[in-house]
Structure 1
Amino acid sequence: MSVSAPGRAKSGRRAATAGARRVATLAFAAQGVSVAAVYTTVPAVTEHQGLSPLLTTTTLVAVALAAGFGSFLGLAAVRVAGPVATMRGALLTAAVALTLIGRAPGPQTAVCAYVLFGIAVGALDVGINTRAAAIERAYGRSVFGSFYTAWSVGGVLAALLTAGAARLDRPVGDGLAVQAGILLLVACCLRTHVLPSSQEPSAQPPLGRRLWLRLLPFGLVLLVVYVVDSTVSAWSAVYLRQTLAASLTVAPIAYAAYQAGTVVGRASVDRLVHRVGTVAVVRTAALVVAGALAGMAMAPSWPFAVLAAGVVGLGASVLAPLCLASAARLRPAASETVLARLNLFNYAGVLTGGAVSGVLGSTGEFRLAYAAPAALALLVLAGARHFTRPLGTSEA
């Protein structure tokens, strides 16, 4: 029996959409690897380069600022070359930056490499989230959670690679070179698939003031999420090393536990949203994050802190994808512009969390650095009512 032309066209659209989803999943996983590679090697790079606590804090703040700049470069690249080409270029740049961080002959080169990494990861953010929003529209249902699950899996892998390299007494540059190689491999595997509902991002109508007001609640929630994320991601290894006397082998395990928690949370988020509704998921996640951060602040030893970090990841993991997906649905035809602007809150959160935690840590008050975001996480409860239901679902 021959297949009709409409049937073949429909099958082709499904194949293209599935292919685009696979490519985006790879890119999200690669970004998870890159971010984890940077954060989990901070203690080793600090000791290898002889960086002072203040310079380490300043460098991580510079990464956040560079990422904000990179998001605007990414927006321009998406408009000119498309999201897939933007993703590929950003991954290649991030791979170069990781290699330079590991092989830097001195502190100045290392700091410049960190800044280059920030620019790359900011551009990558815009590319992958723009592509993810388009894929979700093509599917007609919530799929954002699956992309961020891949991000977290990549983070766990990179953290374990860092711990393994330390266990084998390998130089930090060797571990970063392996992780850079993963990014290069993914960049070479990226392919462009034409989505059924894809539209050229050029010639978009301007975003009005009313839309910015509707974006504000999502921006504030995203800011809180990334204050929490940067506090755990950027400083958990240093916290275990300096405050809880963990070894260089053990220090990255808190990040691995955090990302393992995010794998579980993000793998479940799409089903939870369909079952109980977006608002209920967001509110529950905020309470879980607040309690777990308090547990990290009071941790008597590193195993307790590792467990608490995993629970933080479980709660925090669902908030960013739901926030980005809801915001992208406000203006589907201009999602790349919406997400680029929303990313400013992302980097503001990273900047705030990283700077405050670093300053408190450099003065010996790392426990307070985890107690403060615990209270801040409760603010997410106020913004939960603004979250929109995913396509094809109804709120409980």
Structure 2
Amino acid sequence: MSYSPRAAIAAAYFAQGCVFLSLTTRLPKFEDHWNISQLGLTLLMLMIVLLAGGGSLLAEKVAPRRGSAVVLRAGLLGMVVALLVSGNAPGTPVLIAGLAIYGLVLGMVDATTNMQAVSLEHQVRRTVLPSFHGAWTAGGIAGTLITLALPHASIAALSSGMALLPLLVAFARFLPGSGSAPSPEAAEGIPWRPILVVGAACVIFYTVDTASTTWGSVYFDDTLQAPSGLVALATLPYLVASLGARIAGDRLTDSLGATRLLRGGAVIAIVGLLIVVCAPNWPVGVLGFLVLGGGIAVVAPLSYSAAATLARAGGTLDPELTIARTDAVIARFNQFNYVGALVGSVLTGAIGTGSLRIGYAVPILLVIALVPLAAAFGKQRLAAAA
């Protein structure tokens, strides 16, 4: 396997994370610039999440036939359009249109980057998903730092400049994918029940992750009374800790096993959420998000890896059809991402309308469930389910 496709996949993750976090860390600016209430922001996030689910379904239909690289490039180019439209919107209707485009292409890019990553992981036959998701986190850190470094830059300037990143990545060299749809017989052999169990863990992760990255800056601004130029510090420590955990995640998974790694991470994440909820001021909030990121970060990449392993169950299919079937499963599995995002962004914002402390208390109960769910990620359990 040549280095170029691996670098291209990592670059796509990086671009996705950078654009997403540059958007969410600027939500307080959206409130002020377009005079949008917190409820209005919640509804906008709901729209983005729902349309992202539609984009993922579109990827599920198109990628197995045309190749995931084609859909990924289309999504990245669509992201350029979304940034230019929303960032330069003269009013709320155009802003909504731009964010709607972004929601659709968000789902396309989410699904196809994971298709690319699980395909490469299968080829190299070792754990690589955590480090790829680490590239997403690195992009998120970059997007957050841009917001911190340019607190007085206009939304139009930041969005237009950010559009250059997905534009450049769209022309990178990706894995071609299968270009053929899986047969009905192949689809019938997919073990959906164990995939749903793994998907539950994915939902929990994205609930916590989206609550952190979407509402963290608002929580610091409205509840913890952080200085206006430092509200993005809610997201930055979370992302830095997530990056460290994901960089180490490949080796830790191979040495400790996914089950032990997930259980230990769940305990750490619970502690982090408790600190966030009880934080008396923004410096303690920074500590809470730092602990939370280190504990929860590896759940998503290990979930996608487990789903891909289950999708390839049996091993009797033609290699091209195996890739196509795996692409279809990953696109469907990506819907768990948006269920979690729906809970994390919309429910957290809605419940926390009076106080986001209450909104951040909701994910604690969900993270506790990761402790028993971690057993489903063991190699023996995956093999038995397949």
TM-score, normalised via structure 1 length: 0.89
CA distance in 2, matches of 1:112, 1:247: 32
Q: Does 1:221 pair with 2:206?
A: no
User: How many aligned residue pairs are there?
Assistant: 368
CA distance in 1, matches of 2:297, 2:346: 22
Conserved in 1, the CA contact under 8 Å of 2:134 and 2:246?
Answer: yes
Q: 1:240 aligns with which of 220, 234, 257?
A: 220
2:173 is matched by which residue type in structure 1? R
The alpha carbon displacement at 1:86 in A equals 1.4
User: Could you list the runs of 5+ residues in structure 2 that have no partner in the other structure?
Assistant: 313-321, 381-386
Aligned to 1:176: 159
Aligned to 2:281: 301
Q: 1:212 aligns with which of 168, 189, 192?
A: 192
Q: 2:38 aligns with which of 53, 77, 85?
A: 53
The alpha carbon displacement at 1:201 in A equals 4.0
Aligned to 2:363: 373
Superposed CA offset, 1:243-263 (max 9, x none): 112233211121121111111
Q: Does 1:358 pair with 2:349?
A: yes
Structure-to-structure mapping, 1:1-396, within 5 angstroms: 14-15=1-2, 18-166=3-151, 169-188=152-171, 190-193=172-175, 199-204=178-183, 205-208=185-188, 211-332=191-312, 333=322, 334-363=325-354, 365-389=355-379
Conserved in 1, the CA contact under 8 Å of 2:65 and 2:179?
Answer: no
CA distance in 2, matches of 1:86, 1:252: 32
Conserved in 2, the CA contact under 8 Å of 1:45 and 1:102?
Answer: no
CA distance in 2, matches of 1:352, 1:192: 32
Deviates more, 1:236-245 or 1:103-112: 103-112
Partner of 1:330, secondary structure, is helix
Aligned to 2:315: none
User: Could you list the runs of 5+ residues in structure 1 that have no partner in the other structure?
Assistant: 1-13, 391-396
CA distance in 1, matches of 2:24, 2:180: 33
CA distance in 2, matches of 1:159, 1:249: 12
CA distance in 1, matches of 2:14, 2:309: 24
The alpha carbon displacement at 1:210 in A equals 6.7
Aligned to 1:5: none
CA distance in 1, matches of 2:212, 2:175: 36
Conserved in 2, the CA contact under 8 Å of 1:225 and 1:320?
Answer: yes
Conserved in 1, the CA contact under 8 Å of 2:212 and 2:235?
Answer: yes
CA distance in 1, matches of 2:333, 2:175: 26
The alpha carbon displacement at 1:293 in A equals 0.8
- What is the RMSD computed on CA atoms of the aligned residues? 1.7
Aligned to 2:383: none
Conserved in 1, the CA contact under 8 Å of 2:46 and 2:342?
Answer: yes
Q: Percent identity?
A: 29
Conserved in 1, the CA contact under 8 Å of 2:44 and 2:96?
Answer: yes
Superposed CA offset, 1:234-281 (max 9, x none): 100111111112233211121121111111010011111121111000
The alpha carbon displacement at 1:25 in A equals 0.7
Judging changes above 3 Å, is the alpha-carbon distance between structure 1 residues 295 and 174 closer, same or farther for their aligned structure 2 residues? same
The alpha carbon displacement at 1:193 in A equals 4.6
Aligned to 2:384: none
Judging changes above 3 Å, is the alpha-carbon distance between structure 1 residues 80 and 247 closer, same or farther for their aligned structure 2 residues? farther
2:160 is matched by which residue type in structure 1? A
Judging changes above 3 Å, is the alpha-carbon distance between structure 1 residues 72 and 141 closer, same or farther for their aligned structure 2 residues? same
TM-score, normalised via structure 2 length: 0.91
The alpha carbon displacement at 1:99 in A equals 2.3
2:137 is matched by which residue type in structure 1? S
Partner of 1:203, secondary structure, is coil
CA distance in 2, matches of 1:49, 1:112: 14
Superposed CA offset, 1:327-374 (max 9, x none): 1011231111111111111101101121111113322x2011112211
